[in-house]
Amino acid sequence: MSGALKEVRNRIKSVQSTQQITKAMKMVSAAKLRRAQDAITQMRPYAHKLQEMLSNIVSNSDGDVKVALAAERHVEKVLIIVVTSDRGLCGGYNSNLIKLAKQLIKDKYPQQQAKANVQILPIGKKGYEHFTKAGFKIVDKYWDIFTGLSFDKVQAAAKYAMDAFANKEVDAVELIFSEFKNAATQRFVAEAFLPVIKVEKAAGQKNADFIFEPGKEVLIAELMPKILNTQLYKAVLDANASEHGARMTAMDKASENANELLKSLKISYNRARQAAITTELTEIVSGAAALNG
C-alpha cells in the first residue's frame, strides 16, 4: 500500500507543477493580449475605412482606368496566405485555421490543387511546418513575421502577393486569418485579397462623387498597394490578438482541469492512506491477539 501512496503523492506533485505553469502562461498571455487588443482596436476603424474607399474607387472607375490589382481573370494559379501562430498551447486555434484553408481549397480550388497550382504563403511557424510536411508548394520567406512583428515585415509579404498577381504568376490571392472578437472568441475568416472586390451598386445608385487630385490613374496606382498593405497588417494584428486570447483561455481551462484532477487525486490519496492505516491496525490487533493467546 505504501507504493500506491507514493505513486498518488507523486502524481499530485506533478499536477501541481503543471498547474503552476498553466497559471503563469495565462498571466503572460493576458498581459500580451492587452497590448495586442489595443493595437487591433486602434487599427480596425482606419483599415475598414480604407477598404471601403478602395472598393468604391475601383467600382467607380467604370473601365476608364486600368486597375491591375482589380483585374478579374480565369483562375489557373492561386496563392493562399494563411496566418497561424508561432507557438502551440492555444487550444484549437491553429488546427481550425489549417482546417479552414484546406476546406477552401477543397471547395473552391479543387482543379487548381489537382494540377499543383495552389501555393501557400504561411505567416506563423505552425502553418509553415504543417503545410511543408503536407507537401504543399510553400513561399518560405515570411513565416517568421511574428518574431519582432512590424508593419515593414507585413508590407514585404503583401508586396510579394501583389507582385505575383500583377505579373500574372497567380490569378487570385486568398487570405485566411482569425478575427479577434474578445479573449474567448475568435472568428476564423477566409476572404479574397486579390483581385480587389468591387462594391455592387444598387439599381439607380449613383457613383460616389470623388474628386481626384492628382489624376485618377496616378492616385489609384499609389493608393491601392498602401491600402492592401494595411489590410494584411490588420489581419496579422487580428491574428496576434486572437492567438493570445486563445492561449489565455486554453491555459485557464487547463488550470481548472488541474484543479478537478487534484481533487480526485487527493480523495484517492486519502482513501489509500485510510486503507493503509486500517491494515496496520488490523495487523497490530492480530499480533496482540496472537501474543495473548
Summarised one tens digit per residue, pLDDT across range 22-69 is 999 999 999 999 999 999 999 999 998 888 877 777 776 655 556 788
219 included as an active-site residue: no
Return the closest-CA partner of residue 154 out of 83, 50, 219, 102: 83
At residue 280, does pLDDT exceed 50? yes
Q: What is the mean pLDDT of the segment spanning 74-84?
A: 97
179, HSE (Cβ side, Cα atoms, 13 Å): 9
Task: Give this prediction's pTM.
Answer: 0.85
pLDDT at 289: 74
At residue 282, does pLDDT exceed 90? no
At residue 230, does pLDDT exceed 80? yes
In angstroms, the CA 229 to CA 252 distance is 35
Return the closest-CA partner of residue 70 out of 217, 235, 211, 236: 217
CATH architecture of 21-251: 3-Layer(aba) Sandwich (3.40)
pLDDT at 202: 46
State the average pLDDT for the chain: 88
Task: List pLDDT tens digits, range 145-201.
Answer: 999 999 999 999 999 999 999 999 999 999 999 999 998 899 999 999 999 876 555
Q: What is the mean pLDDT of the segment spanning 69-76?
A: 90
Going by the DSSP 8-state scheme, the letter that residue 62 receives in this structure is T
pLDDT at 36: 95
Q: What is the mean pLDDT of the segment spanning 130-155?
A: 95
**Which residues, other chains included, contact 289 with Cβ-Cβ below 8 Å and sequence gap of 6+?**
none
Alpha helices by DSSP H, listed for the chain, are 2-59, 93-108, 110-114, 125-133, 151-166, 216-292
pLDDT at 88: 92
In angstroms, the CA 182 to CA 4 distance is 45
Q: Where are the domains of the chain?
A: 21-251
pLDDT at 71: 86
Among 63-67, 93-97, 136-140, 223-227, which stretch is predicted with the lowest mean pLDDT? 63-67
Catalytic pick among 70, 90, 101, 194: 90
What is the grid cell recorded at 140?
A: 518560405
At residue 100, does pLDDT exceed 50? yes
CB 29 within 8 A of CB 252: no
CA angle, 228 then 229 then 231, to 5°: 60
Local confidence band at 81 (pLDDT 50, 70, 90 cut-offs) = very high
